[in-house]
Structure 1
Amino acid sequence: MSVLDIKLDRSFDVFDSDRDGRLVKSDVIGLSDRLAESHGLAPDALAGLRESLADLWDTVFQAMDRNDDGAVDRQEFRAAFRARIISDRNRIWERIRTMSNAWTELADRDRDGMLSRDEYTSLLHGMFRLPRETFDEAFDRLDLDGDGQLSRDEISSAMKEYYTSENHSAPGNQFFGRL
């Protein structure tokens, strides 16, 4: 299995909130509800993130459903994501950047436009329910300029690298923790 397949499988697992092996729209949009709950926010405070996740489903994930059963399984996800990266690179990155900017805005409690280690950890733990310690090493690898903060560009770059790089040592591979 390639490095990219390992990362795509991890990404699938992160989005599959009910762990049933199928992605449906409520799995993807539900990430915003989990974040709201973990941060003590009203769900309407996450309208921008909710909209970007719905758009991601409508324009990217839904098209992955090759057998029209209303859900995306792991194989459909992996194959379609690889094809989409090649054929629709600019539009998919625009949507991912919109989503990552919405995440950053919500997690940026001190409103400095950057994510501290705690803000980053709280964000990913809250949305994806992954252990907090998973993100300490990840934060260090993603903080490319070593300033103790993650900028929007560092986050966006890490996400892009996560979904495209076959290089096992690429820093962006750490976005959801160590592979």
Structure 2
Amino acid sequence: MSVLDIKLDRSFDVFDSDRDGRLVKSDVIGLSDRLAESHGLAPDALAALRESLADLWDTVFQAMDKNDDGGVDRQEFRAAFRARIVTDRNRIWERIRTMSNAWTELADRDRDGMVSRDEYTSLLHGMFRLPRETFDEAFDRLDVDGDGQLSRDEISSAMKEYYTSENHAARGNQFFGRL
């Protein structure tokens, strides 16, 4: 299995909130609800993230459903994501950037324009229900300039590498913790 397939499988698992092996729109949008719940926020507080996830479903995920059964299985997800990376790299990158920007705004609770280690681990723990320790090493790898915080550019760059790079050593591969 390739590095990209490992990362795509991890992404599939993150989006599959009910763990039934199929992605449906409510799974994808549900990430914002889990985040709101974990941070004690009203779902409306996450409107930008919710909208970007709904757009991601409508424009990307829904088209992955090749057998028209109303959901996307792991194989459909992998195959379609790989094909889009090759044929529509700029458009998919814009959608990832939109999601990344909404994500960054949510993570930046103190509104200083940067994401601290605590903000990063708290957000990922809340969204993905992975142990906080999973993200300590990831944070160190993603903090390119070593200032102890993640900038919007560091986060966007990491997400782009995560979803497009076949290089096992790419920093962005650490975004959701060690592969």
Normalising by structure 1, we get a TM-score of 0.98
Q: Give, in angstroms, the shift of residue 163 of structure 1.
A: 1.0
Specify the SS of the correspondent of 1:113.
coil
Q: Deviations over 1:31-69 (max 9, x none)?
A: 000000111111111111100000000001001000000
Normalising by structure 2, we get a TM-score of 0.98
Q: Give, in angstroms, the shift of residue 26 of structure 1.
A: 0.4
Write the distance in 2 (CA, Å) between the matches of 1:81 and 1:168: 18
Q: Give, in angstroms, the shift of residue 81 of structure 1.
A: 0.3
Q: Give, in angstroms, the shift of residue 108 of structure 1.
A: 0.5
- Structure 1 stretches of 4+ with a deviation exceeding 3 A read none
Q: Give, in angstroms, the shift of residue 107 of structure 1.
A: 1.4
Write the distance in 1 (CA, Å) between the matches of 2:11 and 2:149: 23
Specify the SS of the correspondent of 2:112.
coil
Counterpart in 1 of 2:137?
Answer: 137
Structure 2 stretches lacking a partner, 5+ long? none
Write the distance in 2 (CA, Å) between the matches of 1:29 and 1:164: 22
Q: Give, in angstroms, the shift of residue 27 of structure 1.
A: 0.5
Specify the SS of the correspondent of 1:147.
coil
Specify the SS of the correspondent of 2:146.
coil
Q: Deviations over 1:97-142 (max 9, x none)?
A: 1111111111111101110000000111111111111000000001
Counterpart in 2 of 1:43?
Answer: 43
Q: Residues 1-179 of structure 1 correspond to what in structure 2 (within 5 A)?
A: 1-179=1-179
Write the distance in 2 (CA, Å) between the matches of 1:60 and 1:135: 27
Q: Give, in angstroms, the shift of residue 167 of structure 1.
A: 1.1
* Number of corresponding residues: 179
Specify the SS of the correspondent of 1:168.
coil
Q: Deviations over 1:148-178 (max 9, x none)?
A: 1111111111111011111111110001100
Q: Give, in angstroms, the shift of residue 4 of structure 1.
A: 0.7
Write the distance in 2 (CA, Å) between the matches of 1:99 and 1:164: 15
Write the distance in 1 (CA, Å) between the matches of 2:160 and 2:107: 20
Specify the SS of the correspondent of 1:153.
helix
Specify the SS of the correspondent of 2:33.
helix
